Amino acid sequence: MGYIDCDTHAIESLRTWSYLAPKDEHFRPPEKKTDGSQSQWNRLKHFWEMPSGQLIICGLEVESAPGQPPPSVRLLDDVAGRVKWMDDLNVDTQIIIPSFFLAALFTDPAAQTALTASYNRWMADCSKESNGRLRWSLVPPLLDIDAAKEEIRFGAANDAASVMMRPLECEKLLTDPYFYPVYEEAQKHNLTIGVHIGNASSPVYENSAAIMHAIVPMTAAFVNIFTSDFATRFPELRFGFLEGGSEWLPFALREISRGAETAWRQDVALADVPLAGTNLFIDCTFDEDLPYVLKFSGEDNLVLGSDFGHADIGTDVGAHGVMCERTDVDAAVLNKITSENGRRLYGL
């Protein structure tokens, strides 16, 4: 079997918003050209602009470095071309995660509902065009829980594999009961919760240090979920923690262990391999200290994503092949990380 690429991206273009209902056209994000100094995204000068003035990566005038997927593939204007790249990389399935919604901050539920609905229908069509090779992470409009449940039902009927959330949403922790209806609906339809690095609480994406403001909340989100009652409340629901690497895991579990010895969480007891047997999966990178991380994760709960579609610190389109060249981890374990575990995470 080929690889499962657990974290890839599409960059939103004009086509993304072509699915807006006529009554929602006024929510279409305007395009804004800049001199390129307003964002951490090097060399980008064209953005979507939010009502707050927040600028978000836009698929117009995107360039690709030599040897990298061309813009038409990154924007999913050429779905067949994307599948050809997958074939060349021995990837059976990519999970597509948005770019715009990793950063977008909303205060208007109607605007969020309109834009997520348009995005989700675009992705459904792209998945259909790929004959199911491109699975996708639907974006729920979390300011309106009933609308979010409706989008989950739509996604489940149209080859979505997961529900995308950021480590903080709606100024709430992911363990807040506000989100329970979302988790119940996702579990009902066998959809994973894909927790991707991002920050929904403050516009940090204009800052060159924004990556740390995205990864640190992910560590906190994992701790909150691991120490919650979710294993019994949502026993079939799977969580993936994406694009934050895995070397934070030993730190997080050590802090949980220390807390279990104090008044903080005396009800938490760590197993010898804490993640073994859980529905929590961590997206590692090919260059991490995996022999150490595996002591905490076990061999069944690490997965791998390449960040295909982006061109930043987390991107390596050939990550799976590079991972399988490692000699310090057993080949059978590497096969689990690059293929088997991803199938389990997304219920493929």
- Fill in the DSSP letter of residue 29: P
Burial 273-285 (b: 16+ CB within 10 A, else e): bbbeebbbbbbbb
Coil, helix or strand for 235? coil
pLDDT tens digits for 154-205? 999 999 999 999 999 998 999 999 999 999 999 999 999 999 988 776 555 5
Q: How confident is the model at residue 212 (pLDDT cuts 50, 70, 90)?
A: low
For residue 254, what pLDDT is reported? 85
pLDDT at 337: 98
Burial class (CB in 10 A: 0-12, 13-18, 19+), 257: middle
- pLDDT greater at residue 157 or residue 258: 157
**E strand or H helix at 302, and its extent?**
strand 302-304
* Per-residue confidence band for 5, with pLDDT thresholds at 50, 70 and 90: very high
User: What pTM, to 2 d.p., does this model score?
Assistant: 0.93
pLDDT tens digits, one per residue of 53-93: 877 777 777 777 787 899 899 999 999 999 999 999 999 99
The 10s digit of each residue's pLDDT in 273-325 is: 889 999 999 999 999 999 999 999 999 999 999 999 987 777 788 999 999 99
pLDDT of residue 41: 55
Rounded Cα–Cα distance for residues 325 and 329 (Å): 9
Q: SS in 3 state form for 40-106?
A: CCCCCCEEEECCCCCEEECCCCCCCCCCCCCHHHHCCCCHHHHHHHHHHCCEEEEEEECCHHHHCCC
Residues 115-138 pLDDT 10s: 999 999 999 999 999 999 999 999
pLDDT on residue 49: 84
Each residue's pLDDT tens digit, 40-51: 555 667 778 888
Domains of the chain: 3-346 (3.20.20.140)
- For 330-338, the CB contacts below 8 A with 24+ separation are 333/294, 333/299, 336/299, 336/300, 336/302, 337/284, 337/290, 337/299, 337/302, 337/303, 337/304, 338/3, 338/4, 338/304
pLDDT at site 68:
85
Please give the Cα distance from 202 to 28 (Å, whole number).
22
For residue 88, the tally of other CB atoms under 10 A from its CB is 10
Residue position matching structure tokens 């009933």:
146
pLDDT of residue 269: 62
Residue 210 has pLDDT above 80, yes or no: no
Mean pLDDT is highest, among 60-69, 215-224, 251-260, 292-301, for 292-301
Residue 120 and residue 154 in contact, taking contact as beta carbons nearer than 8 Å? yes
What per-residue confidence (pLDDT) applies to 264?
A: 52
pLDDT per residue as tens digits for the range 266-284: 556 677 788 999 999 999 9
| Residue 266, phi then psi, degrees to nearest 5 | -75, -10
Structure tokens at 208: 């060159």
pLDDT of 65 reads: 77
Classify burial at 9, counting beta carbons within 10 Å of its beta carbon; exposed 0-12, middle 13-18, buried 19 or more. buried
